[in-house]
Amino acid sequence: MASIEQQLQQQVLQAYHDKTALEICAGGSKFKPSNGQAQRLDVLPHSGIIEYEPSELVMVVRAGTPLAEVQSALAAQNQMLGFDPPFASDGATIGGAIATGFAGAGRPYYGGARDFILGAKIINGRGEVLQFGGKVMKNVAGFDVFRPMAGALGTLGVLLEVSIRLLPVPPQQKWISVICEDQAQAIEWMNKAHFKCTTLSAAQWQDAAIMMRLSGTPQAIEYDLKYLPAYAELGVSSDAALLAVAERRADFFAGSDCIFRCVLPPAADPIVLDDVQQLMDWGGAQRFIKASASEQRRIEEQVTALGGRAMPLLPNRLHSPLAGTAQELFSIQKKLKAALDPYSIFNAHLMPQVS
């Protein structure tokens, strides 16, 4: 009997041959299958951890493996994924986590999916099974084709296997809250903390308070606390609250108002708008603004002037990592796509668009 990998490859070969569209599906936790004409390519059965040697700090895993399974295997060895991928409890897979590149609150301090991926086995749009990168930390043989797979939403190829660099779980974590009405002040404090505190691993501002997470040895955390403005130690973990922002389940995201996601240099000045609610994540580098859709122009203008980029969230409260490509890059992006998927068979509905 053909292996699942061979079955997937067969399906892609057929689509390549017939020039028909495929929609890559896995856990369905982030983007629900579209109602388009495309045939579904289901990666979910391609599941299981292939190699995990804790002392190498590397895991090789099939793309359809549930994130929850990966996380619990890691937790058993006191290790973790560095990029905090969301939606594990909704059935997200590791492949989907890489393909979307969505990262949680630790993003500025630990890195994103693209920083932790060490290699990938893919099926390209010609139905070829290819392996790029590897399972070692340092590897400069050939182009890092695996890295742009992070955030490509499957449009560059089907992820079959990924190898991922891991982190040890920090010996201790503390969550603290700093009262801060003034947004400019909050930006300054979060950035100072990033500079001063090696254990800072999350910093969020909403409802006139900064929430910070410190992760490290008790001694290092103790040391860092000295540098923080007046704070209250939260007795319990705030990780659920941090995750709720990454998964857009926090109260802030409720309701029918338009929400804009802005990514900026972390110390950029506040975006000034009257009577809107704002939430800052990633130490100021990711900001959400709840405003009426008519504010889009004003927000975009300000954010662009601050050196960043603003985008309205999709109805599912997520954003497409491919949306809003700069015009000057569009032609290379299209050529890169064609180099991997000449007939655009993969996930045509998620393709990059020009801003």
Partner 1 sequence: MHATSLSALKQKLSAALPPDCFIDDAVRMAPYECDGLSAYKQMPQLVVLPENVEQVQAVMRACQETRTPVVPRGAGTCLSGGATPHPDGIVLSVAKLNQILHIDEKNRTATVLPGVRNLAISQAVAPLGLYYAPDPSSQIACTIGGNVAENAGGVHCLKYGLTVHNVLQVKMVLLSGEVVTLGSESLDSPGYDLLALVMGSEGMLGMIVEVTVRLLPTPPVARVLMASFDDLGKAGEAVSAVIAAGIIPAGFEMMDKPAIRAVEDFVHAGYPTEAEAILLCELDGVEQDIEPQLETVTTLLKKSGAVEVGLAEDEAQRALFWSGRKNAFPAVGRISPDYYCMDGTIPRKALAHVLQTIAALSKKHGLAVANVFHAGDGNLHPLILYDANKPGELERTEEFGGEILDLCIAVGGTITGEHGVGLEKVDRMCVQFSDEELAQFRLIREAFDPDGLLNPDKAIPTLNRCAEFGAMHVHHGKMSHPDLERF
Helices (H), 19-131: 67-76, 94-100, 107-110, 113-116
Our CB check for partner 1 shows the closer of 64 and 283 to be 283
Written as six digits, the tokens of 39 are 């045939």
C-alpha closest to that of 97 among 5, 9, 29: 29
Task: State the minimum distance, in angstroms, from the CB of residue 137 to partner 1.
Answer: 4
Our CB check for partner 1 shows the closer of 152 and 271 to be 152
How does 53-67 read in b/e, with b if 16+ C-beta sit within 10 Å? eeeeebbbbbbbbbb
Our CB check for partner 1 shows the closer of 39 and 323 to be 323
CB of 199 within 8 A of CB of 215?
Answer: yes
Task: State the minimum distance, in angstroms, from the CB of residue 129 to partner 1.
Answer: 8
Q: Report the amino acid identity of residue 297.
A: R
- The distance of Cα 350 from the centroid of its chain, to the nearest Å, equals 16
Our CB check for partner 1 shows the closer of 254 and 329 to be 329
Task: State the minimum distance, in angstroms, from the CB of residue 196 to partner 1.
Answer: 7
Task: State the minimum distance, in angstroms, from the CB of residue 332 to partner 1.
Answer: 6
Instruction: Measure the CA–CA gap between 236 and 228, rounded to whole angstroms.
Output: 19
Task: State the minimum distance, in angstroms, from the CB of residue 192 to partner 1.
Answer: 9
Written as six digits, the tokens of 1 are 């009997």
Our CB check for partner 1 shows the closer of 180 and 351 to be 351
Query: Which H or E run includes 13?
Result: helix 4-18
Instruction: Measure the CA–CA gap between 177 and 180, rounded to whole angstroms.
Output: 9
Task: State the minimum distance, in angstroms, from the CB of residue 155 to partner 1.
Answer: 8
Our CB check for partner 1 shows the closer of 56 and 257 to be 56
- The distance of Cα 45 from the centroid of its chain, to the nearest Å, equals 23
